[in-house]
Amino acid sequence: MSAADTPRNPLSEAAFVQLLSKHQRHLNSFIRSLVPTHADADDVMQDTSLALWEKRQHYDPERDFFSWACGVAHIQVLRHRRKTATERLWFNDEVLDLLASQMIDEAKLFEFRRDALDKCVDRLPDSDRKVVELRYQDGMTLDVMSRELGSSARSIQRTMARARRVLHRCISATLREWHVQ
């Protein structure tokens, strides 16, 4: 590897593993959208993880990790396709390229939306934020929340409806502010 191939500030192995772990679920979804079976997706995910590890010194921390990882995954999908092409029907390379590009764009939008949601949840009044967190982070049912909070189910439903409206408006405004549509 030449000096020109190595980023100025390469990530430590631990930082790289942390980034890969953070994006693994979305990377796996990206791969699953491009291959015909779950077994193929598992094989490609394993090959992709190995390829990413082997190429980790080439990753530039200034770039978006997920986009870079999707590019590596796309190459692994194409390799897997060539290896198994005689076994089953596959999309042609042009369709795979189009799907990969579209999935990367959608994943970036999803990341922006999730960041906006986090920001907007933090802005909710404490009581509304508590209800939202109990429902969506802890997975509590309305009945359990009612007992936990000592409020009627109807009151919690109203709080949830209000919080959803506030979050929807806040997320939309935040995305507009960030010039994301």
The C-alpha atoms of residue 121 and residue 118 are separated, in whole angstroms, by: 5
pLDDT (tens digit, 9 = 90+) per residue, 110-133?
Answer: 888 889 999 999 999 999 999 999
Mean pLDDT of 48-76: 93
Query: What ranges make up the beta strands (E) of 35-114?
Result: none
Length of the chain in terms of residues written: 181
155, two tokens: 């009151």
Confidence of residue 87 (pLDDT cuts 50, 70, 90): low
Alpha carbon 117 to its chain's center: 14
Burial (Cβ within 10 Å: 0-12, 13-18, ≥19) of residue 165:
exposed
Confidence of residue 35 (pLDDT cuts 50, 70, 90): confident
Type of residue at 29: S
Mean pLDDT of 87-109: 77
CB–CB of 163/121 below 8 Å? Answer: no
Phi, psi at 33, each rounded to 5°: -75, -15
Domain 1-109 top-level CATH class: mainly alpha
CB–CB of 81/44 below 8 Å? Answer: no
- Global pTM? 0.54
CATH fold group of domain 124-181:
Arc Repressor Mutant, subunit A (1.10.10)
pLDDT for 1 equals 47
The C-alpha atoms of residue 52 and residue 31 are separated, in whole angstroms, by: 14
pLDDT (tens digit, 9 = 90+) per residue, 142-152?
Answer: 999 999 999 99
Q: What torsion do the CA atoms of 82, 58, 32, 102 make, to the nearest 10 degrees? A: -100
The C-alpha atoms of residue 17 and residue 20 are separated, in whole angstroms, by: 5
Q: Where are the domains of the chain?
A: 1-109, 124-181
Q: Which residue has the tokens 């490609």?
A: 44
